[in-house]
Every structure is written in structure tokens, then in C-alpha cells.
């Protein structure tokens, strides 16, 4: 029987099931065991497994990141959690200099099975130190995997895969997705950490999205369909390793590609998608690959500026109207998402 | 301890000191040939610390070291084939030639890793100690770092977490009062590392001895107290770095330190005083020479083996990144 749960509960269930299955798995980080439980995602862990396997820590992100490496190479499977990816940057030395190169530096003898969960996402006037994403920066470094599921189904399946993977995996979760409902099997299952996924089929244009931008892209595709444009939405899901097969197959069919990335554009994931699509679909492309993402500024606090900073379904629709020379679509009566109107899904 | 036991212990310690010193002297001898294409940070002058601490621990206990890691590697493993091969960038090296001098490791011998970013191994050691504690395997972790590392924030983060979580970890500061070329006067806004560390819930020891036996016993005492009280320990051990920060040469002409300091420390050279101690304990000159000859032979053989070994195959570039 199908069952619908939230993205938050899907993450929680994945951890609970994996901690039950494998006693080497433990969860730690700033406030993972406090009353808020990382937006509810670490609920029940300390009660079920005790403070040895789920514990809050000092505010020492740098040391906490190094500890994950030490615990992993000594036989455990740590999950380190950051309430904001911005805080995780204090551990960047450990990620870029230590964790990513450890296996290579051991001559392939020592595996590094660890997961770093990082919550991303815009909030309510969070401004520029609580709103980054950083997946392209992490994915730039060989030796780590970077994934960012957009649906409850993928959140559970990919987190279980990440915990079972023998490599370091950075697992990026958008806060706005936490309330999204979707069908999630109760039993444990795995989803690949290296494949994009078609969220909505179409034939006229390929929209490649990351994280929350999938919600915007699916909404845009719904609106565009009323104007006769059939958009295919592909959730990139896995930033590193990045297998472009699904995207290339789609663009060969549609001839058009727009990337809407939950990050800055310059030197970003969109550029990687554009390059791969150009390399492999050169003869099929009917228009240049376009990229959308954050404005090239720090994220502003004031709502009117914040709204301009982020791409969304409306700006994506405008972009596609321009591409196809469409008459402006009447958007009155369309229900777009905002902080005040939580996205509940399903997709 | 009886005199015979003491003699055996000191012979054992001397063997390790001699191996470390002469493996590095061999590097000095051959470095100019430009076949060891890796920056070397030699341990010469500091050997008693690595040997004394590591030999006081159990073989299954673990260590993490810095870019100046040859001494820890050699005393934990006792082997030189993979050691020299790594310096020569050969496929028979510790990491198939991919790591070089600054990142020696031997997980099976308890040497977890060596890091070239100052202080970066310290939190890794804390995580390793946490895993040992959670798995109740009785292993202790020793993490070696220079005094410069205590200026990094992560050192204090790590010490705090280790004390808070009562982890079986030994913080070993190899204190030469230099960070690359900078003396304490331009680096420290406080009087004493050990005085601060004593405010943490850990045991603190310090010494300026170059006597490997003294460091061995100091470490045993530290390990005993750690086990008794379930608290970590910090040991600050002074030494004098004989050679330049990186490379195989002296640098007394550089102006930041004097030859007179070196000559004062040389009178207490850890290898020389240990050899003299062996004679005073009743070892014969010929017995010591035989031991030295065997080690010289090991080093010569390993050097030849490393030189003749093949470089890694091209496909090795992409191997070992992911499991």
C-alpha cells in the first residue's frame, strides 16, 4: 500500500533504519539532539540509540569534520549534520585537504565511509550567511560525492545509499522541501548516487534543475503546457559524480536546454551541464544552452531584493517565452510558492 | 626494572633511533641525485620523541603525524622498502608513489596518516580515538604536531572535544620553538601552552630531555594515568631541529638561529647519548656495531630496491580516488 510522508520524515526514517541495521552508524553535530532536532530530521534517534550514537557537540565545525574522517577510517560510519551549509565551510579544510584525498593517499587501502548532511535554503530574511548552497564548490573536488535530492522518495533512498557508500558523501537538503509530501516505501531501499532523474516528461525543451529549483521548474512546466509548450524536467540529483546520460538523451529529443540551478551561475553546476550538453548534443541543439541561478551578489535580506536574487517559476517561464518567441502567458490565478505558502507537494 | 631488562629496553630503543637517524642520513646522502622528487622535512634531532612515545605504546595503538613524519613512520613500521620507494615515487611505495614524503601511512601498523596542513591531523586523531572508545578495542591514539599547530584554532577545538568526551588520545607537541622560521616571540601572545592546557580536563606533561628512555617512561606514565582516569593527555617535548625546515641542509647562515644553539643541543644528541648509555649498561662495542651493521644493510638494500622499482603505470593516475 502506498504511503505519503514528508521529506523531513523520509530523512529521519532513512537514518533510523540504517542505525538499526548497522551499529557502526552514528549521528552527531551541533544541536542534533536538542529539542528542535535539525528541523525534525533527527527526531527519535537519541531516544532509540542513546547518547553514544546520537549526540550534540561543541561549536567546532572544523574539528567535527576531521573527526568524521578519523572515525570512518577506524571502522565507523559517521553522519555529521550541519543546520546550514554556511557553517560547514568552517570544515572546508578537512573536506578539501583531508577527506577527499585520504583514500588516494592511502594507495587505495583505506576507505572513507562518511556522510555530511547540510541543510540549505532560503528562509525569511536569512541574508548572506544562512542561504548558500555550495554544491558546485564541493563537487569541484575529486574524491567526494555530492548529492541533493528533491523528493521524499529520493531523500530516503539516496540517504540510505550515502550511508552504505564507502566514500565520503555530502548530502544537501533544501529546507523548503522538508514539508513536501511524496510516496515513500516503508521498507529500506536505495537510489543511485550518480544518476539524474526525469521528474516530468516533455518533448519541446529540457529543463535541468537542482534541489528546490525542481519545484519551480515543475510549476513552470505546468504553466507552459497551457501555452502548448511541453517541457521535460530533469532533477540532476547527483552533482558528483555527474552522469549526463539522462540529460543528453533528453536534449537530443528536445533540442533546447535550460539549467535552473539553486546556486550562483558563475563557475557553477549550470556551466558543467552546458558544457556536457554542448559536447554531446552539438548537432541537436536548436538554441544555446541557457543558465539560471542566483544573482551575482551576496543574498540580500529585504524581501523585494531577496525575491529578485532567486530564480523562480515566473522567471523561468519568461526565459522560455523569450526562447520560443511566445506571447506573455497570463499568470493571474496561478499559485506560486513563497515562504508564507509552504510547498507540500507532491511533485 | 632489572639491569638486564633495562639493557634490552635500551637496545630496542637504540635500534629504532638508529634506523630513523640513518634512514634520514641516507636521504641526505642521495637527495642531490634529484631522484627523490619530493620535499623532505627531516626529523634529525627529534628522534627520541617519536621513538620514545611510539615504543611506549602497544603495537596496535595508533599514531598520526605531520609532514615531518619519517620518524613516526619508521618506528611504527620498522620497514624501509616501502618508505624509500615512496620517496622515489615508485609503485612499490607506501601509497604507490602517490603521496610522497609528507603523507606516509601504514594503517596495518597503526600509522593512520600524516598531514601537510598544520594541525589538520589533530581532529582526525580525535575521531579515531572516538571510534576506538565506541568500539571498546582498548587502542590509544597518539597525535604528533609541532608547536606551531597550537596556534591553529582546530587544535583547541580538538583538545576541548577530547577532554569533554574523555577520549583515549595522547597529544604530543614536538616543540622546537619554531614555526617554519618564526620564533615564539613573533607568534605567542601568552606565556605557556602547558599552563593553559592544565585548565582542561586532561593530564599535562612537559620535558626538554633528549633521552629516549626518559621519554619512553614519561609516556608510559601518561598512558597509565589516561587509563586510570579516562582522561586524555598532552605532552610537550622540546627538541632542536638540526636542519632547515624543508630540505637536507643546515641553515645556520640564514640568520634566524645560531650554530651555538645547535652545538649546545648536539652535546645531548639523542642517538649519541643512547649509544653511550648502552656501553655504560654493559653492551659491548661489537654488539652495538653488529646491530648498526644490520640496519645499515637494511637501508642500503631498501634504497637499491627503491631505485630499481618501476614507476606507477599511467592507469594509476585515476585509480584509488573512489572505492
Q: Do A63 and B323 touch (CB under 8 A)?
A: no
Domain shared by A80 and A140, yes or no: yes
* pLDDT of amino acid A1: 61
Q: Do A104 and B112 touch (CB under 8 A)?
A: no
**What CATH number does residue A264 fall under?**
3.40.50.920
Residue range B213-227, pLDDT digits in tens? 999 999 999 999 999
Residue range A309-345, pLDDT digits in tens? 999 999 999 999 999 999 999 999 998 888 777 888 7
Residue range A262-291, pLDDT digits in tens? 999 999 999 999 999 999 999 999 999 999
Domain assignment present for residue A42? The answer is yes
Report yes or no: A56 at the B interface, CB cutoff 8 Å.
no
Report yes or no: A284 at the B interface, CB cutoff 8 Å.
no
**Residues of chain A neighbouring B153 (CB-CB closer than 8 A):** 62
* pLDDT of amino acid B1: 64
Shortest Cα–Cα distance, B135 to chain A (Å): 9
**Position A215 pLDDT exceeds 80:** yes
> Which residue ranges make up each domain of chain B?
6-243+252-310
Domain assignment present for residue A79? The answer is yes
Residue range B259-306, pLDDT digits in tens? 999 999 999 999 999 999 999 999 999 999 999 999 999 999 999 999
Domain shared by A145 and A225, yes or no: no
Chain B contacts in chain A segment 172-231 (CB below 8 A) = none
Which candidate from B62, B120, B320 shows the least CB-CB separation from A104?
B320
Report yes or no: B129 at the A interface, CB cutoff 8 Å.
yes
Domain shared by A174 and A93, yes or no: yes
Band the pLDDT of B228: cuts 50, 70, 90: very high
- CA distance linking residue B130 with residue B133, whole number of Å: 5
- Which of these three, A137, A165, A185, is where a domain ends? A185
Which candidate from A67, A103, A105 shows the least CB-CB separation from B130?
A67
Which of A13, A18, A82, A130 does the annotation list as catalytic?
A: A130
pTM for this prediction = 0.96
Report yes or no: B151 at the A interface, CB cutoff 8 Å.
no
Domain shared by A307 and A210, yes or no: yes
Compute the count of residue pairs across chains A and B with CB atoms less than 8 Å apart: 138
A130 given a catalytic annotation: yes
Domain shared by A68 and A125, yes or no: yes
Average pLDDT over residues A58-82: 98
Domain shared by A145 and A262, yes or no: no
Shortest Cα–Cα distance, B124 to chain A (Å): 4
A61 given a catalytic annotation: yes
Q: Whole domain around residue A179: which residue ranges?
A: 2-185
Domain assignment present for residue A332? The answer is no
Domain assignment present for residue A340? The answer is no
Shortest Cα–Cα distance, B240 to chain A (Å): 29
As a whole number, the mean pLDDT across chain A is 96
Domain assignment present for residue A192? The answer is no
- Which of these three, A116, A150, A185, is where a domain ends? A185
Domain assignment present for residue A252? The answer is yes
Q: C-alpha A41: how far from its chain's center? A: 15
**What CATH number does residue A75 fall under?**
3.40.50.970
In total, how many domains does chain A have?
Answer: 2
**Position B30 pLDDT exceeds 80:** yes
Report yes or no: B92 at the A interface, CB cutoff 8 Å.
no
Average pLDDT over residues B170-188: 92
Domain assignment present for residue A272? The answer is yes
Average pLDDT over residues A207-233: 97
**Residues of chain A neighbouring B134 (CB-CB closer than 8 A):** 26, 52, 71, 76
Q: Which CATH number fits domain B6-243+252-310: 3.40.50.970, 3.30.2080.10, 3.40.50.280, 3.40.1190.10?
A: 3.40.50.970
Amino acid at each position: 500500500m502506498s504511503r505519503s510522508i514528508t521529506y523531513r520524515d523520509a530523512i529521519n526514517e532513512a537514518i533510523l533504519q540504517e542505525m538499526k541495521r548497522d551499529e557502526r552508524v552514528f549521528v552527531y553535530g551541533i544541536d542534533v539532539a536538542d529539542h528542535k532536532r535539525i528541523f525534525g530530521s533527527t527526531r527519535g534517534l537519541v531516544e532509540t540509540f542513546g547518547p553514544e550514537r546520537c549526540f550534540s557537540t561543541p561549536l567546532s565545525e572544523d574539528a567535527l569534520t576531521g573527526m568524521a574522517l578519523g572515525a570512518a577510517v577506524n571502522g565507523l560510519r559517521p553522519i555529521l549534520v550541519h543546520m546550514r551549509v554556511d557553517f560547514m565551510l568552517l570544515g572546508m579544510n578537512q573536506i578539501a585537504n583531508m577527506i577527499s584525498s585520504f583514500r588516494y593517499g592511502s594507495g587505495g587501502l583505506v576507505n572513507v565511509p562518511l556522510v555530511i548532511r547540510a541543510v540549505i535554503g532560503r528562509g525569511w530574511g536569512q541574508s548572506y550567511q544562512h542561504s548558500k548552497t555550495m554544491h558546485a564548490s564541493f563537487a569541484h573536488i575529486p574524491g567526494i560525492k555530492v548529492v541533493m535530492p528533491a523528493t521524499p522518495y529520493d531523500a530516503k533512498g539516496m540517504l540510505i545509499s550515502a550511508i552504505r557508500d564507502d566514500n565520503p558523501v555530502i548530502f544537501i537538503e533544501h529546507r523548503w522541501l522538508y514539508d513536501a509530501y511524496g510516496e515513500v516505501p516503508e521498507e529500506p531501499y536505495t537510489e543511485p548516487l550518480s544518476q539524474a532523474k526525469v521528474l516530468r516528461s516533455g518533448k519541446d525543451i529540457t529543463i535541468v534543475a537542482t534541489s528546490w529549483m525542481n519545484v519551480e521548474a515543475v510549476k513552470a512546466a505546468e504553466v507552459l503546457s497551457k501555452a502548448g509548450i511541453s517541457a521535460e524536467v530533469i532533477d540532476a540529483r547527483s552533482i558528483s559524480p555527474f552522469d549526463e546520460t539522462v540529460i543528453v538523451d533528453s536534449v537530443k529529443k528536445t533540442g533546447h536546454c535550460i539549467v535552473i540551478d539553486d546556486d550562483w551561475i558563475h563557475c557553477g553546476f549550470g556551466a558543467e551541464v552546458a558544457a556536457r550538453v554542448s559536447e554531446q548534443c552539438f548537432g541537436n541543439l536548436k538554441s544555446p544552452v541557457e543558465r539560471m541561478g542566483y544573482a551575482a551578489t551576496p543574498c540580500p535580506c529585504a524581501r523585494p531584493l531577496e525575491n529578485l536574487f532567486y530564480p523562480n517559476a515566473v522567471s523561468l517561464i519568461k526565459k522560455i517565452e523569450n526562447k520560443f518567441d511566445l506571447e506573455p502567458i497570463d499568470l493571474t490565478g496561478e499559485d506560486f510558492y513563497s515562504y508564507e505558502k509552504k510547498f507540500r507537494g507532491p511533485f | 626494572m632489572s639491569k638486564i631488562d633495562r639493557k634490552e629496553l635500551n637496545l630496542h630503543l637504540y635500534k629504532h633511533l638508529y634506523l630513523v637517524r640513518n634512514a634520514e642520513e641516507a636521504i641526505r646522502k642521495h637527495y642531490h641525485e634529484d631522484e627523490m622528487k619530493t620535499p623532505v622535512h627531516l626529523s634529525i634531532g627529534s628522534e627520541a620523541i617519536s621513538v620514545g612515545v611510539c615504543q611506549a605504546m602497544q603495537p596496535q595503538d595508533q599514531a598520526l603525524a605531520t609532514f615531518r613524519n619519517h620518524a613516526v613512520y619508521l618506528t611504527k613500521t620498522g620497514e624501509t622498502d616501502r618508505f624509500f620507494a615512496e620517496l622515489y615515487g615508485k609503485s612499490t611505495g607506501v601509497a604507490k608513489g602517490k603521496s610522497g614524503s609528507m603523507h606516509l601511512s601504514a594503517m596495518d601498523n597503526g600509522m593512520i596518516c600524516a598531514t601537510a596542513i598544520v594541525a589538520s591531523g589533530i581532529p582526525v586523531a580525535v575521531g579515531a580515538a572516538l571510534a576506538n572508545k565506541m568500539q571498546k578495542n582498548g587502542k590509544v591514539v597518539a597525535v604528533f604536531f609541532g608547536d606551531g599547530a597550537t596556534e591553529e584554532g582546530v587544535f583547541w577545538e580538538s583538545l576541548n572535544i577530547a577532554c569533554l568526551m574523555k577520549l583515549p588520545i595522547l597529544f604530543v607537541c614536538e616543540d622546537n620553538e619554531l614555526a617554519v622560521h618564526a620564533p615564539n616571540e613573533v607568534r605567542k601572545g601568552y606565556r605557556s601552552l602547558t599552563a593553559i592546557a592544565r585548565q582542561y580536563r586532561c593530564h599535562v606533561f612537559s620535558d626538554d630531555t633528549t633521552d629516549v628512555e626518559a621519554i619512553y617512561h614519561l609516556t608510559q606514565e601518561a598512558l597509565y594515568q589516561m587509563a586510570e582516569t579516562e582522561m586524555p593527555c598532552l605532552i610537550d617535548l622540546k627538541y632542536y631541529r638540526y636542519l632547515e625546515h624543508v630540505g637536507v641542509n643546515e641553515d645556520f647562515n640564514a640568520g634566524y638561529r645560531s650554530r651555538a644553539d645547535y652545538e649546545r643541543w648536539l652535546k645531548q644528541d639523542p642517538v649519541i647519548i643512547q649509544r653511550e648509555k648502552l656501553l655504560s649498561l654493559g653492551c659491548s662495542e661489537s654488539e652495538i656495531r653488529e646491530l648498526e651493521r644490520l640496519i645499515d644493510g637494511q637501508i642500503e638494500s631498501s634504497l637499491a630496491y627503491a631505485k630499481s622499482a618501476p614507476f606507477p603505470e599511467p592507469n594509476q593516475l585515476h585509480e584509488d580516488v573512489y572505492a
